[in-house]
Structure 1
């Protein structure tokens, strides 16, 4: 199985290098790793021990951000290195002031793991939610370097819990401690004889609970919404946008703000073609008062505004549920907004909880979307959903404190 794993890592890199001339994300992934170990060695201060945080992408960065912020605030002399697997995380957060260095993670080979760890000399390591790399984890265990997994979550259908998942269980056993999102995850780990795990919760709650107090007005959005009821749709993809197009046609008295997950020109052009008469945020200053008043759809063609946009919503829609899985629902819920999303949400504990609380609503087609939207136009029903969403977020904050107490008790920070 080890040989198959190494072959899979190699083939993944080969495929990305082959398609990189034609695929922008693949190109960033490949170019970001050219001579990566040499560049890290030339950049990182030698002889200095670092705290290493790794994130798969931008969502995982936001998940671990509250822990990073607490370390920076309370232990400002600590040196921190961040690595990302995905370009969507690295390219947006490569200049973050929460770290001393930010790099792409070199591919998971035995040689890369040894050289990388030799260079950065981590005092301890934090991975977020998932991504289990055999060679990195094995090398950390070999050197007795503490490896922590925060906001960890597991499901019974994962390979770790299958009869043929022995190799992948050995990866998990290199983790020093799992801070789990729920007790089901703790129990599943114990079932495979991993006992160094405890319930902490999801660190994202600690991040998002602060968003409403940090909200900054967006004058263009305020002007667009005016006195209209507004739907804010975040991280949308084509299947989401097609449903929202029909919903906007059937609800002309509502305004719609779309913040698509991909903002490259082709996707924005497709949205404009689909909806017809829309406003683009980047060109807002060029529109007349009459255009702004009479337009129903505003498209956000930049990155970084979404968490503030939900403030202006009466109802929110979260994209991704017709693809690999929904995006972040908590940024909408923390403002006390009802959340609608597609059918692929079961892997996300917070979405499951919001559905149970009747503040989150899953839909599989337009008929279901229209029905839920009609229900949410009732002020009392919408207010009940809003209150339960906001209470849910506030009641689950605190994971960061648990993790920080562990780090201090174990004398990993000083």
Structure 2
């Protein structure tokens, strides 16, 4: 199995080089990996080093509370942050809480040994996913503790299949798992791995902190003032078709803020064409909002987490594609969240449905019905207030993973 694994890693590397001729994303990965050694040699990594690895941007948001807690508690430590994906590295390559931000070289025995010897970490944290055989084995052989943070497991994963013995060996190199839930704990127990703690998900600490320190956005506040507001975050075309159909017939006292996942000019132009009501663009606004505007399109990145604070309801995109985006960034403000059918792999979405703070839709009719129920002014039902409170309470109840880990390992 190890032979096939090594072959797979090599084929992926070769494929990335070929695909780099046609894909900017692949080109960034190839170029970034080739410069890792030079980057690390140019940085002073003397003294104790912590290495944190995140597959992509989503995992970084989970790891960020831990990174920043370590930075505050141990300012003399150096922090090396690695990414697998360009979507993580390219956005956070200048993250100022890390001393070095690099791509993770391909998982070969040679690369793993070279990387570990070069940074010589005191502790290593892999966030949620990513289980690389050679890196894990190298760390284990060097006696360097390895922690899996906010990890979550499902019965369908190869570790829990009868033919997954070799992959279970990868997990055996982890010093301690800080898992999100009891299901993950039981699954690890079922394969003889007992070095785990149910700590929860560090993302809850992150979104609670975002809500506490979110910047004021005056033009968004002006647009939202006195209106019921639906904020749609990370929307894709299937989401936007449902939203546009509703918006074009909605009451005049309802406004909409849409932050599409794709913000390039072509998509923004296509999105504007879907609406029959007045639209304005965030990047085109100066100090005032056109009085007639009913839709505000966020055509830039980096402000969505702060914009949710102005919403009465949130719609989270991606559920009609590969999977929904971050529901917690909205729920932390105590507003109900709506999302599409592809949400089953997201524990927090299932939990939000269970507590009454989240709603799943499969069709535009589903969306229209839920919105009608949420906007209902009948004090006997008051679904908007109750579901928003349930969403906010859920986030608050799940905070605490970061201090648990810090107390366990550093304090």
TM over 0.5: yes
1:395 to 397, 402, 405: 397
- Separation in 1, partners of 2:30, 2:247: 40
Structure 1 counterpart of 2:341: 343
**1:324-374 C-alpha deviation (Å, 9 max, x unpaired):** 211111111110010001111121111111000111011111111111111
**1:216-267 C-alpha deviation (Å, 9 max, x unpaired):** 2111112222322111111112221222111212315222111122323333
Structure 1 counterpart of 2:25: 25
Write out aligned runs for 1:125-144 (5 A). Answer: 125-144=124-143
Residue 19 of structure 1: CA displacement?
2.7
**1:28-86 C-alpha deviation (Å, 9 max, x unpaired):** 22222223223322x23255441000111111111111111111111111110001111
Residue 157 of structure 1: CA displacement?
0.9
**1:117-137 C-alpha deviation (Å, 9 max, x unpaired):** 111101110011111111111
Write out aligned runs for 1:284-363 (5 A). Answer: 284-285=285-286, 292-363=290-361
Structure 2 counterpart of 1:370: 368
Structure 2 counterpart of 1:412: none
Write out aligned runs for 1:7-406 (5 A). Answer: 7-41=7-41, 43-45=42-44, 47-253=46-252, 254-275=254-275, 278-285=279-286, 292-379=290-377, 380-406=382-408
**1:288-313 C-alpha deviation (Å, 9 max, x unpaired):** 75xx2222222212221111000010
RMSD between aligned residues:
1.8
Q: Is the 8 A contact 2:45 2:78 kept in 1?
A: no
SS at structure 2 position matched to 1:122? coil
- Separation in 2, partners of 1:351, 1:46: 40
- Separation in 2, partners of 1:168, 1:265: 44
SS at structure 2 position matched to 1:356? helix
- Separation in 2, partners of 1:133, 1:384: 44
- What TM-score does the superposition give when structure 1 sets the normalisation length? 0.93
Residue 212 of structure 1: CA displacement?
2.7
Q: Is the 8 A contact 1:127 1:150 kept in 2?
A: yes
Count of residues in Structure 1 that have an aligned counterpart in Structure 2: 405
- Separation in 1, partners of 2:393, 2:119: 41
Following TM superposition, the consecutive aligned residue runs of length 4 or more in structure 1 with deviations greater than 4 angstroms are none
When residues 8 and 252 of structure 1 are mapped into structure 2, their CA distance, relative to the original with a 3 A threshold, is farther
SS at structure 2 position matched to 1:209? helix
When residues 194 and 87 of structure 1 are mapped into structure 2, their CA distance, relative to the original with a 3 A threshold, is same
- Separation in 1, partners of 2:33, 2:274: 37
SS at structure 1 position matched to 2:80? strand
When residues 13 and 293 of structure 1 are mapped into structure 2, their CA distance, relative to the original with a 3 A threshold, is farther
- What TM-score does the superposition give when structure 2 sets the normalisation length? 0.94
Point out where structure 2 has 5 or more consecutive residues left out of the alignment: none
Q: Is the 8 A contact 2:239 2:320 kept in 1?
A: yes
- Separation in 2, partners of 1:378, 1:208: 29
Structure 1 counterpart of 2:409: 407
- Separation in 2, partners of 1:134, 1:284: 51
- Separation in 2, partners of 1:77, 1:85: 26
SS at structure 2 position matched to 1:52? strand
- Separation in 1, partners of 2:17, 2:198: 40
Between 1:209-218 and 1:354-363, the stretch displaced more is 209-218
- Separation in 2, partners of 1:21, 1:76: 42
When residues 298 and 20 of structure 1 are mapped into structure 2, their CA distance, relative to the original with a 3 A threshold, is farther
Between 1:244-253 and 1:335-344, the stretch displaced more is 244-253
Residue 205 of structure 1: CA displacement?
1.2
Point out where structure 1 has 5 or more consecutive residues left out of the alignment: 410-414
**1:125-162 C-alpha deviation (Å, 9 max, x unpaired):** 00111111111111111111100011111111111111
